[in-house]
């Protein structure tokens, strides 16, 4: 299959399959305005991701004991890495649990 064959209309994706996907976007759900999340550690210089500060560490953990991801928490990558290290250290010292006791 050469270059000419790939440009043939038989191999093109411009056909009927694509017509349903193209449009003015009216079929998408209108969800409103979303504000960009701000890193809480960058916004407040007094707040430091430290393993000894259990209140801060637990606020970035889910109710099941998982670390909340960046896209949810809004942290920058630098502080998210620091937070992950702090959570792991706090877990190791039994300041924070690995999992919660579920029934």
Tell me which long-range contacts 79-87 makes (C-beta under 8 A, separation of at least 24): 79/39, 79/41, 79/42, 79/49, 82/41, 82/49, 83/41, 83/49, 83/57, 85/49, 85/51, 86/49, 86/50, 86/51, 86/57, 87/51, 87/57, 87/60, 87/61
Instruction: Note the pLDDT of residue 15.
Output: 52
Mean pLDDT of 62-83: 95
Whether pLDDT at 100 is above 70: yes
Q: For residue 101, what pLDDT band results from cuts at 50, 70 and 90?
A: low
Going along the chain from its start, the domains and CATH numbers come out as 3-92 (4.10.640.10)
pLDDT in tens, 20-67: 555 555 556 666 777 888 999 999 999 999 999 999 999 999 999 999
| 59 or 15, greater pLDDT | 59
Whether pLDDT at 74 is above 70: yes
Q: Is the pTM of this model over 0.85?
A: no
Mean pLDDT of 6-27: 55
């Amino acid at each position: 299959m050469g270059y000419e064959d790939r440009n043939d209309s038989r191999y093109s994706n411009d056909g009927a399959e694509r017509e349903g996907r193209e449009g003015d976007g009216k079929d998408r759900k209108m969800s409103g305005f979303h504000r960009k999340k701000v890193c809480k550690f960058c916004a407040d210089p007094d707040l430091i991701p430290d393993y000894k500060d259990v209140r801060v560490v637990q606020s970035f953990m889910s109710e099941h004991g998982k670390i909340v991801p960046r896209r949810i928490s809004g942290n920058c990558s630098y502080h998210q890495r620091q937070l992950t290290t702090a959570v792991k250290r706090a877990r190791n010292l039994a300041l924070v649990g690995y999992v919660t006791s579920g029934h």
